[in-house]
Structure 1
Amino acid sequence: MGHIVVSENLSLDGVVRDPTGEEGFARGGWFERMDDATRRAWAEIEDEEARSASALLLGRRSYEWFARRWASRPGDWADRLRALPKYVVGSTVDDLGWGVVTRLHGDPVRAVARLRATVDGDIVVYASRLLVHTLIDHDLVDELRLTTFPCVLGAGERLFGATGAPKTLRLADVRTVGAELTIGTYRCAR
């Protein structure tokens, strides 16, 4: 059975919107503020995560964002992301040439539950804020890996939205990345 892992970059106040500043959000670009040593350390951890993943699960917009940037990027990390099977939740997904891509049809909760039952290993979710809200609300997330950037934005779309019931998490690990970031790993208690 698969293990759904949400892997997100966020500000201290939980904002995930426009980390690279490409969307025009006035408070965007916060991802780009880390120093070079921290960026290298973060990239090593992300590469390690991709190497241990069995698949990627993305919402449509996140898939399109990643595909445009990673489909032709050189390097081992990019090669690994291209090689991973990708499952995309969304009714209007175009194949953008980013390796093996499967669109999940119908109700996303049922589709992800079926996917989880058929894939062995980690199914990593990058970005995909709305999908993450749905997965958390329906108890389909097994683990959250939250990379926190040392900034408070005060506005913007946040990772966590309203849920139908409180969700209990257990801290599994905390580590620093470079001189600026922390990664908190939480396991969902059921």
Structure 2
Amino acid sequence: MRRIFLHINVSLDGYICDTAGDIDWHFSDEEFQRYLDQLLESIDGMIFGRVAFEQLAAYWPTAGDEVSAVQARKMHELPKYVLSRTLKRAGWHNTHLLGDDPATALARLKQRDGGDLALFAGARAATTAVGLGVLDELRLIVNPVLLGGGARLFDGTYPKAELCLAHTHQFASGAMLLAYETAAQ
């Protein structure tokens, strides 16, 4: 069975964007770019919330030399699944809308043959996925910054969940990857 994991940058005080909605505080260096290349090579698809999808769909099809060749290729080729009840059409290559029943759609994706799926989402989609109990792992890139406000990573209601630390990685920048498996794993 495939696994679905959340992969998201977060500030030390729990925000995924600042009060202006910007994410320019995320660190990015050669080590992190290599990590992203490896991550994209290891998955068989990406899941997005509508907002993240629309932002990424506006950027990636015309991304230039500022991204690696691996990232440009994988962001184009990989299947993209969108959690949205309002989006009716998606023009980005290999995009599939999951429709009005995200729990069923994600459960079906997990049952298909293939490798893991990464949920690259905003706060609302991440909270929804946690609430639905479809995540097998949460991979948080904790950036060494305090934002003092913005959109919280998990801002809503969801059931209490026990997590188990699966692995960590410290980047030279001071950011930390913290990977937690759900108790069901």
Please say whether Structure 1 and Structure 2 have the same fold, judged by a TM-score greater than 0.5. yes
| C-alpha separation in 2, matches of 1:155 and 1:137 | 23
Find the residue that maps to 1:30 and give its secondary structure.
coil
1:101 aligns with 2:95: yes
1:170 aligns with 2:164: yes
Paired residues, number: 179
Task: Supply the AA of the counterpart residue of 2:117.
Answer: I
- Between stretches 56-65 and 112-121, larger displacement belongs to 112-121
1:84 aligns with 2:74: no
| C-alpha separation in 1, matches of 2:158 and 2:8 | 22
Correspondent of 1:188 among 160, 175, 182: 182
1:141 aligns with 2:135: yes
Determine if contact 1:144/1:185 at 8 Å carries over to the other structure: yes
Question: Structure 2 matches for 1:1-190, cutoff 5 A?
Answer: 1-18=1-18, 25=20, 29-31=24-26, 34=27, 39-74=29-64, 75-90=69-84, 91-97=86-92, 99-190=93-184
Find the residue that maps to 2:154 and give its secondary structure.
coil
| C-alpha separation in 2, matches of 1:130 and 1:112 | 16
> How far 1:27 moved relative to its partner?
7.4
Spell out, residue by residue over 1:27-57, the C-alpha distance to the aligned partner (whole angstroms, 9 max, x if none): 75312xx4xxx51111111111000001001
Task: Supply the AA of the counterpart residue of 1:123.
Answer: L
| C-alpha separation in 2, matches of 1:107 and 1:72 | 31
Q: Please tell me the root mean square deviation across aligned C-alpha atoms, in Å.
A: 1.9
> How far 1:119 moved relative to its partner?
4.7
Determine if contact 2:127/2:158 at 8 Å carries over to the other structure: no
| C-alpha separation in 1, matches of 2:88 and 2:33 | 28
Identity of aligned residues (%): 28
> How far 1:162 moved relative to its partner?
3.8
Structure 2 length as normaliser, TM-score?
Answer: 0.88
Which stretches in structure 2 are left out of the alignment for 5+ residues? none
> How far 1:179 moved relative to its partner?
2.7
| C-alpha separation in 2, matches of 1:157 and 1:94 | 26
Task: Supply the AA of the counterpart residue of 2:32.
Answer: W
Task: Supply the AA of the counterpart residue of 2:8.
Answer: E
